[in-house]
Amino acid sequence: MHSLALAILADSDNPGKPVFIAIVIAIWIIGSIVSSIRKATSSKRIQDEKVKMRATRRAMQLPAVAQNQPKRPPPKAPLSRKLVKRRPPPLPAKAPAPPPRQRAPIMMQPAEPAPPRQPNNAAARPAPVRTATAAALNRWLSPTTMRQQFILTELLQPPITMRDNHLL
């Protein structure tokens, strides 16, 4: 058959035809070699992934130590003794935390000069804290004051379109 192909190629009148056929056959052979190499590497990659998955599954399983040991019945207590309920030891008593001291708003804090320094052994007195009265709340919660505070906060914030929640 090999000689027949040579005879057919030799009898042709066009000299470019045998070269073209040889190039097509060479490309076909190279393509089949590349395809078989790709198949081999992809199957090897798949096998490697399967091995890794099996190793991961084995590593994630709990050790079977408890399953291999035979189960023993719990020791029986003598019938004459009463079962004593065990209670956990009592928790140590904690000193109650002092309630958090809330600072009065700046407008309600007294404006007093700092007290003179006292010797280290003298106990420092806490500064008196004024609380808000009903009259003070009535003055501060008026519509005019609230409008002024709102305008002040708007001036100190970035523009509405540059805020994160301007679409809400």
Question: Could you state, in order of their start, the residue ranges of all structural domains in the chain?
Answer: 2-65
Q: In the structure encoding, which two tokens stand for residue 146, read together?
A: 């609230």
Give the C-alpha separation, 77 to 67, whole Å.
Answer: 26
Q: Is the pLDDT of residue 55 over 80?
A: yes
Q: What is the pLDDT of residues 124-152, one digit of tens each?
A: 667 777 788 888 888 888 999 999 988 88
d(CA 50, CA 57): 10
Is 12 in contact with 18 (CB distance < 8 Å)? yes
| Cα 93 to chain centroid, rounded | 38
User: How high is the pLDDT of residue 165?
Assistant: 78
Q: What are phi and psi of 99, to 5 degrees?
A: -65, 145
- What percentage of the chain carries pLDDT values higher than 90? 16
pLDDT at 89: 78
Are residues 78 and 103 in contact, defined by beta-carbon separation less than 8 angstroms? no
Average pLDDT over the chain, rounded to an integer = 76
65-96: per-residue pLDDT in tens?
555 555 676 666 655 555 556 777 787 777 77
pLDDT at 157: 85
Q: Please report which confidence band the pLDDT of residue 116 belongs to, taking 50, 70 and 90 as the band edges.
A: low
